Structure 1
Amino acid sequence: MKIFSTSAVKLALFAFIGLMATNSSAQEVTWLSWNEAAELAATEKNPKKIFIDVYTDWCGWCKKMDKDTFQNSEVAAYMKENFYMVKLDGEGKDPIEFKGKTYKFIPSGRKGYHEFAAALMQGRMSYPTTIFLDEEMNMLSPLPGYQKPEPFLNIARYFGDNIYKDQDWKTYSGESK
């Protein structure tokens, strides 16, 4: 039996390193709990806006958005810089405090839903839904459905760069033409 030559081993090693480098463009997003984000927003001298990804464990589009959109290096870098990023299970069981009210899990059908998720999504229980809140935790906009990286980044910049304060969405996005 022939033993692999040194050059064959080197070639295999370089191929492996190249594959790892290709996958390194994806970034790991640091997700916070609601309580962690709320604490940061309340205690930071210059708080960021809050971004909430409302998901469920069974949602395929939620998983696709995690992989394709939130792991995109440009999206991840922008979001980390401009938002506290929260992962919120729309069927989570733990109570959540928000603006003096306690939101709880409501059993319904085979599973149920969390009142906080329902309030943020304005009663439209669609997964995934992404929520943008300003620095004072006021609603900017819920955005239902899967979003590809480029359109999502365009939306995130609209809120993150405060463009929404001076320009409506149709003008910003070019839809008013």
Structure 2
Amino acid sequence: MPRKLRSIAVMKNKFLAAIGYFGALVTSTQAELTWLTDFEAGKKQAAETGKTLLVDFTGSDWCHWCIQLDKEVFSQEAFEPVAEEYVLVELDFPQDETLITPEQRGKNEALAEKIGIEGFPSVILFDAKGRPFARTGYQEGGPEAYLKHLAELSKPYNALKGAEGDARKDALAGFLKTIPGREIEESYREEFAELKKLDPKDETGLLAELETAKAMAEFEDSVEQNLSAGDFDAVITNVDDFLAKHDPQGEKRQHVLMGKVMVYVEQGDTKKAFAQLDEMAGFAPESEFSRNLDEIKKSITEHLKMREEMEKEAEAELPVEAPEPSVVEEAEAAEKE
């Protein structure tokens, strides 16, 4: 199974429970709000109305925080003003297979994988073209607080939509600053090219930052591919080359060096892995990684122990092969024939 630098998981909120399924475009009602259950239908409506897409990735019958978000926010009457700004789409990943058709589940899972859903609940804001620009999930505080939270997330996007002339450059920089480098490469190339044209001298300082983010995304892909192929020397080269070219500091340097740690773990070399981890902690002593260093080492030890036990069990289950006959035994057998 491929090991990834970026953890990848999938599932989140509420759906059709008591109503049953009537087709891909069926809607459910929550606090008088209409939630579409098909992403493409949501995109179409967003394009027609000029609104933003709010897509709720939910596990309606198993995800505790999804259920809480629906109960505390989405199903509350005070949340109804959300419909003035957003087209609402709910994509469910229930354990009960009767709550959703195989076709719709396939669509939901494909979209979740495409945009990198890593947990549930995940609430993603998209433009009318279906490009994600903000991510959130469960938030405490009820419907009013959640509406304010959504408004804050949408500010850079809304500012860009109305920006013209000299204000366009700053609006582009402000918006792209909120988008991960990988998503810029995948979804916002036009906006990036426009910023390059408007800011050829990189007065905003953002172009260099985004180029580094783009390089980081390419680095992660290379490391993932080489780890999957078992080409550990190539992973070490990936890491060393990136460090030499970009010289990231702090937590970013820790992130890059994790590639080497993963190689050492795969090779079963805890001495090298732990030495690398100790070195990494010094680059950002206050980071979450550094604070959890002991737990990371413990997890590695447990992982390797479990792997060793599984390998022993697998060997024990192999059929015992009869030993090869000796030269003398072969000669004796030949004489008897």
TM-score w.r.t. the length of structure 2 is: 0.32
How far residue 59 of structure 1 moved from its aligned partner, in angstroms, is 0.9
Task: Give secondary structure in 2 for the equivalent of 1:135.
Answer: coil
Tell me if 1:136 matches 2:129. Answer: yes
Identity of aligned residues (%): 22
Change (3 A) 1:36 1:147: farther
C-alpha separation in 1, matches of 2:109 and 2:74: 23
Which runs of 5 or more structure 2 residues have no equivalent in the other structure?
1-29, 95-99, 161-170, 176-337
Tell me if 1:82 matches 2:75. Answer: no
Amino acid aligned to 1:76: E
Task: State which of 151, 154, 159 in structure 1 corresponds to 2:148.
Answer: 154
Amino acid aligned to 2:114: A
| Range that drifts further, 157-166 or 145-154 | 157-166
C-alpha separation in 2, matches of 1:82 and 1:75: 12
Task: Give secondary structure in 2 for the equivalent of 1:41.
Answer: helix
Task: State which of 103, 106, 109 in structure 2 corresponds to 1:104.
Answer: 106
C-alpha separation in 2, matches of 1:31 and 1:119: 22
| Range that drifts further, 54-63 or 155-164 | 155-164
Where do 1:27-106 residues align within 5 Å?
Answer: 27-34=31-38, 35-42=40-47, 44=48, 46-56=49-59, 57-77=61-81, 79-90=82-93, 94-95=102-103, 104=106
Amino acid aligned to 1:118: E
State the aligned residue count: 126
TM-score w.r.t. the length of structure 1 is: 0.57
1:116 maps to what in 2? 111
How far residue 61 of structure 1 moved from its aligned partner, in angstroms, is 1.3
C-alpha separation in 2, matches of 1:156 and 1:114: 24
Which runs of 5 or more structure 1 residues have no equivalent in the other structure?
1-25, 97-102, 106-112, 169-177
Structure with higher Rg: it is: 2
How far residue 50 of structure 1 moved from its aligned partner, in angstroms, is 0.5
Task: Give secondary structure in 1 for the equivalent of 2:33.
Answer: coil
C-alpha separation in 2, matches of 1:41 and 1:88: 16
Which structure shows the bigger proportion of residues in strand conformation?
Answer: 1
Change (3 A) 1:117 1:93: farther
Amino acid aligned to 1:82: E
Change (3 A) 1:62 1:48: same
Q: Is the 8 A contact 2:43 2:129 kept in 1?
A: no
Q: Provide runs of 4+ in structure 1 moved above 6 Å.
A: none
How far residue 132 of structure 1 moved from its aligned partner, in angstroms, is 0.3
Change (3 A) 1:54 1:147: farther
